[in-house]
């Protein structure tokens, strides 16, 4: 019997590209700032393009550029990017629970290559088991958007004022709202958890000691706490 995730692959791929387009536009704008950081680290446009193509993670990539600029070692870069990107291990664990049992390992590896906050969001929001072709569609537009934006940011250099580039990054927050609002409208529990997440995130950024942690570390801690509470008090009932 043909696995369900292999049926209508072209249609699912196009659906992923459609949902990934807003992500690509957001990435394109935000990665301009990253491109300026890459330029300050001494990278040219081609090097910045491939750096973003193979490392689609803003915090981890910025940490890597910072190490390059300071003349740090490869070991230092590896440790910093591991810490900065640690939250993606949690997201990958969640996505693995949505994978069909018969999904081959190479598909799992390709999907895991581009687990970002935004692609994770649209994948989790999609009903049913994970279909790798949906993720491939989102990746096909999101990765070029991130990479090209970085390269153009390097080329622009100091031509654009940094304040203008930072202001444009608001588009990415709009995309996050697009991901979570429909889920909150359909489920009051999710809506309450969204509000709770926002309040706790704000509190963590202001609280003594906790606010001194990196944004990635705070995200990991909050994810574990909030997801654990939700799983305990509102367990998911299997169909």
- At 217-235, the pLDDT tens digits run 787 788 788 888 888 888 8
pLDDT, position 239: 47
* Pair of tokens at residue 224: 């574990």
| DSSP letter assigned to residue 102 | T
The residue among 177, 188, 192 whose CA lies nearest residue 226 is 192
- At 170-206, the pLDDT tens digits run 655 665 676 677 778 888 888 898 899 889 989 998 9
Residue 166 has pLDDT above 50, yes or no: yes
| C-alpha–C-alpha distance, residues 227 and 90, integer Å | 11
| C-alpha–C-alpha distance, residues 22 and 25, integer Å | 5
pTM across the whole model:
0.73
| C-alpha–C-alpha distance, residues 108 and 99, integer Å | 8
* Pair of tokens at residue 136: 């491939």
Please count the other Cβ atoms lying within 10 Å of the Cβ belonging to residue 220. 18
| C-alpha–C-alpha distance, residues 75 and 123, integer Å | 33
| C-alpha–C-alpha distance, residues 117 and 121, integer Å | 6
Choose the weakest-confidence range: 98-107, 122-131, 156-165.
156-165
pLDDT, position 50: 94
Q: Please identify which residue in the block is written with the tokens 């209508």.
A: 8
User: What confidence tier does 168 reach under pLDDT thresholds 50, 70, 90?
Assistant: low
| C-alpha–C-alpha distance, residues 106 and 92, integer Å | 15
| C-alpha–C-alpha distance, residues 204 and 189, integer Å | 22
In terms of DSSP H, where are the helices of 157-187? 162-168, 170-186
């Amino acid at each position: 019997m043909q696995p369900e995730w292999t049926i209508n692959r072209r249609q699912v791929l196009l659906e992923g590209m459609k949902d990934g387009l807003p992500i690509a536009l957001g990435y394109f704008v935000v990665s301009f700032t990253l491109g300026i950081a890459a330029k300050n680290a001494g990278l040219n446009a081609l090097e910045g393009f491939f750096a973003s193509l193979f490392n689609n993670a803003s915090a981890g990539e910025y940490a890597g550029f910072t190490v390059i600029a300071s003349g740090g070692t490869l070991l230092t870069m590896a440790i910093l990017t591991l810490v900065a990107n640690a939250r993606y291990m949690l997201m990958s664990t969640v996505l693995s629970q949505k994978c069909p049992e018969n999904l081959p390992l190479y598909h799992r590896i390709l999907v895991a290559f581009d687990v970002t906050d935004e692609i994770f969001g649209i994948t989790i929001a999609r009903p049913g088991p994970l279909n790798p072709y949906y993720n491939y569609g989102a990746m096909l537009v999101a990765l070029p958007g991130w990479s090209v934006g970085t390269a153009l940011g390097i080329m622009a250099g100091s031509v654009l004022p940094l304040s203008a580039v930072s202001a444009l990054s608001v588009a990415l927050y709009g995309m996050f709202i697009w991901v979570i609002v429909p889920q909150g409208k359909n489920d009051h529990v999710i809506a309450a958890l969204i509000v709770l997440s926002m309040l706790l995130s704000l509190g963590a950024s202001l609280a003594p000691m906790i606010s001194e942690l990196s944004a990635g570390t705070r995200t990991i801690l909050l994810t574990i706490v909030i997801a654990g509470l939700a799983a305990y008090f509102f367990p998911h009932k299997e169909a």
